[in-house]
Amino acid sequence: MFDFMNRILRDDGGSKDRAVERLRLVLIHDRAKVAPRFMEALKEDLIAVISKYMEIDEEGLDVTLDSDESSTALVASIPIRKMKRSYD
């Protein structure tokens, strides 16, 4: 029964991934009091800078802000495909 429900509800298209990303950005905004546009701009800037030195998997990139009562931390998981030998 569980397998049947998974097959019915599963969306293999990109719309599911986009919806999950939007939800993640909203949750980040709520926790860190940062606008979703700010997080997207930060992610784009990180990609631009890091791409000068290494080839990264942009699809696998994950950037979040973790907050507690006393501080906020930027947490980035950036899959590296390979290091560049020359720098642009």
Tell me the whole-structure pTM to 2 decimals: 0.56
pLDDT at position 14 over 70:
no
Dump pLDDT digits (tens) for 16-45.
Answer: 777 777 777 666 656 667 777 888 888 889
The pLDDT confidence band at residue 8, using thresholds 50, 70 and 90, is very low
Domain boundaries of the chain, sorted by first residue: 2-83
Are the beta carbons of 45 and 15 closer than 8 angstroms?
Answer: no
Q: In whole numbers, what is the pLDDT of the chain averaged over residues?
A: 76
